[in-house]
Structure 1
Amino acid sequence: MTENPGIILTILAFALVIGPLVFIHEMGHYLVGRFFGVHAEVFSIGFGKEIKGWTDRRGTRWKLAWMPLGGYVRFAGDMSPASQPTQEWLTLPPEQRARTFQAKPVWQRALIVLAGPAVNFLVAIIILAGLLMVNGEDRTPAVIKAVQPGSAAAQAGFLPGDTLQQIAGRDIDSFGDVVRIVKPRPGELLDFQILRGGRVQNIVAAPGVEVEKDRFGNTYKMGLLGLMPVEPVRVSINLLEAPAAAVRQTGQIMQMMVDGLGQIITGRRSVKELGGPLKIAQVSGEMANIGPETFIFFIALISINLGFINLLPVPMLDGGHLLFYAIEAVRRKPVSIMAQEWAFRSGLLVLLTLMVFVTFNDLSSFGVWDRLSGLIG
């Protein structure tokens, strides 16, 4: 029998994940903008009509909107989607214009934009560092203790005593690295470099496909080789070691995200695996139902995901702005307003299309379309 976290827990958990992460993301933009003397006109959590808000003594309107699936900071003079000067901006008094976003040099604008994703990564690193100090870190040597008979590893020729050094060109430091690389690649041919009897050898193997079902009824396809490691080693992490270990773990998670995106783009994984806000809400409730520590780790994952997605070079995202600033820095002049307007309109269309698609996927994973077809039939 599968568990159900319930609609109330799901909504509360989703709010506890998305709300604070959007807030700190936008706060990163706000604080760096304020440091460089840019006036923020609006700081909004959510989109659409304002539910509640107030104006501070600096003239910034802080508000909560009815659609809490994001947020934004609107800086003074930010009058177009491409954040380019407009005729209205040119008519501002010089002292007022100096406090606008467009008046700042390109490196300051880039730092203001970069600050949002950077804060998301920083929060994730802090969370992961705390969890590492509590639980320690798995550093089990990548040495094979046993090979499951009939498994993909047995068929490929792995033997007890082999030490895995590289998989798909990536260095292996512990057995945890093996799991992170193999699990997301069911059925995919991988190159393994092993050390056997003092000699380096190469093996090509395709992990078998294992379908796992969690306690909530969700199913996942996982890669399985059939290797058993030597005795697990759990190393204690102190306060001085935790930041570096957390940064390393954040990098590993980002690598998994890059791999997953690459697999979907190249067709090695189904686009049906893409999830949107509804899926995040569902998983938020499930993680909260498992326990506080699991839920906190999930917040770190979503924070990394939010930072990573925003750095993609897609117009309308932070990465799209950074791309144009990089071009501006090289050319010593901005990209034309018309080119930026077209790029940002295209980016908006892409994002809206993606939002519709992932929402369709989410509803499909909940069985909505099957139930509707049953009613119609």
Structure 2
Amino acid sequence: MADIAIPLIGLGNFLLGTIVPFLFVLTVVVFVHEMGHYLVGRWCGIGVRAFSIGFGPELFGFTDRRGTRWRFAAIPLGGYVKFVGDVGAASRPDADAVEALSEEERPVAFHTQPVWRRAATVFAGPLFNFLLAIVVFAVMFTVFGRYVADPMVAEVRPGSPAQEAGIEPGDRFVSVDGVPVETFADVQRLISGRAGDRLTIVVERDGRLIETQATPQATEQTDALGNTIKIGIIGVVNNEALGQPRLVEYGPMEALVAGTQETWNVIARTGQFLKRLVAGREDRCQLGGPVKIADMAGRAADLGFVWLVQLVALLSVGIGILNLLPIPPLDGGHLLFYGIEAILRRPVPWQVVDAVYRAGMIMVLMFMAFVFWNDLFGC
């Protein structure tokens, strides 16, 4: 009996400690994304045939009074909203499908709408992902506040880029690469993602502004969720005496502003990472797929629900950015075609659209295979 019970207990711990947190994180992010499409689509007068969390066979669902099928499917790695006139889950247009619409369906079909309504409906998905992150960060700041420290240099590590740049203990950071800084966390944020880049740094010393340059060196660190990450450092240390760490408390509106700024910081850093990745200046092992997300969700759940909610915010921003890439069938690919249509004042030919969608789908599948390989074997 004991020999059977031990693996069953291990399986139960895996399900509760990893799979359940993973499904929670992914379901929230996907639901909010698809709800953005749904709400704005309905506001634009577009009919909706299905709202699905997951792909594949339906596990359970119901049909509302408008005829929309709300469903949970067997493969919980995404979701979709299927509008009237869509060929499939990717909202790929098709001339035959549009021609086959009934007289009642044509006015509410997605692909018969003005280009601005289609664009608004598509853009709403990533937008809602960003709004989710703003709300999460704003609530966090309202409930817990935020600890900050002045951007002071207490120690300069020997042989570090900071020492080579002439930065000294007692200096106060004013800006990093033209971006003003108010806290030591600002300095870390602006430097950590720029390993190998020569940065212009302005410090204040004895009332004088001194401009210098430093190139952050890459170093491996372990984050709070146990991930090994590579970040840039210049070798400066802050301490309690000079940094004067303190808790900043926020009212609701202040927290909303701070949450918006924090979301923008995450967007900027993610965009910067992707640009450096394409240029071959970032480690591909920093990319992960469902397996890595599941592992992170399990670790976050071990640290507490607050950490899990923060992971939701970070993943939501990542999903929003990923979907804005100009690759069909992602939302950004749709928006690219709508932009061309708005400029030309006529739709892109169906044959061109179909060919690009097929090529885009191959690219998306290759990317998914790449991150799966990273998860399982590559890193």
TM-score (norm 1): 0.89
Equivalenced residue count is 362
Matched, 1:22 2:67: no
Matched, 1:362 2:368: no
1:228-254, Cα deviation, whole Å (9 max, x unpaired): 332223311111211111000000011
What is the rounded CA distance, in whole Å, between the counterparts of 1:216 and 1:322 in structure 2?
35
- Give yes or no for contact 1:41–1:61 (8 Å, CA) kept in 2: yes
In structure 2, the partner of 1:162 is: 171
Equivalences for 1:318-329 in 2 at 5 Å? Answer: 318-329=331-342
Matched, 1:74 2:87: no
In structure 2, the partner of 1:147 is: 156
Matched, 1:351 2:371: no
Q: Deviation of residue 87 (structure 1)?
A: 2.9
What is the rounded CA distance, in whole Å, between the counterparts of 1:146 and 1:281 in structure 2?
38
SS in 1 for 2:111: helix
Change (3 A) 1:105 1:156: same
1:335-367, Cα deviation, whole Å (9 max, x unpaired): 11122111111110111000001100000267x
In structure 1, the partner of 2:310 is: 297
SS in 2 for 1:132: helix
- Range 26-35 or range 169-178, more displaced: 169-178
- Range 80-89 or range 42-51, more displaced: 80-89
1:75-101, Cα deviation, whole Å (9 max, x unpaired): 011127664352342243333210111
SS in 2 for 1:334: coil
In structure 2, the partner of 1:201 is: 210
Q: Deviation of residue 139 (structure 1)?
A: 4.2
TM-score (norm 2): 0.89
Q: Deviation of residue 282 (structure 1)?
A: 0.8
Matched, 1:100 2:113: no
Matched, 1:59 2:67: yes
Structure 1, unpaired ranges of 5+: 367-377
Q: Deviation of residue 260 (structure 1)?
A: 0.9
What is the rounded CA distance, in whole Å, between the counterparts of 2:176 and 2:184 in structure 1?
11
Matched, 1:137 2:146: yes
- Aligned AA (1:177): D
What is the rounded CA distance, in whole Å, between the counterparts of 1:303 and 1:282 in structure 2?
17
What is the rounded CA distance, in whole Å, between the counterparts of 2:82 and 2:347 in structure 1?
21
- Give yes or no for contact 2:201–2:214 (8 Å, CA) kept in 1: yes
Matched, 1:34 2:34: no
1:159-210, Cα deviation, whole Å (9 max, x unpaired): 1232323223333232211111222334443222233344433322223443
- Give yes or no for contact 1:140–1:234 (8 Å, CA) kept in 2: no
What is the rounded CA distance, in whole Å, between the counterparts of 2:159 and 2:87 in structure 1?
64
Q: Deviation of residue 54 (structure 1)?
A: 2.1
- Give yes or no for contact 1:38–1:101 (8 Å, CA) kept in 2: yes
Change (3 A) 1:248 1:59: same
In structure 2, the partner of 1:370 is: none
What is the rounded CA distance, in whole Å, between the counterparts of 1:216 and 1:343 in structure 2?
39
What is the rounded CA distance, in whole Å, between the counterparts of 1:183 and 1:92 in structure 2?
53
- Aligned AA (1:78): D
Change (3 A) 1:218 1:112: closer
In structure 2, the partner of 1:7 is: 14
Q: CA RMSD in A?
A: 2.1
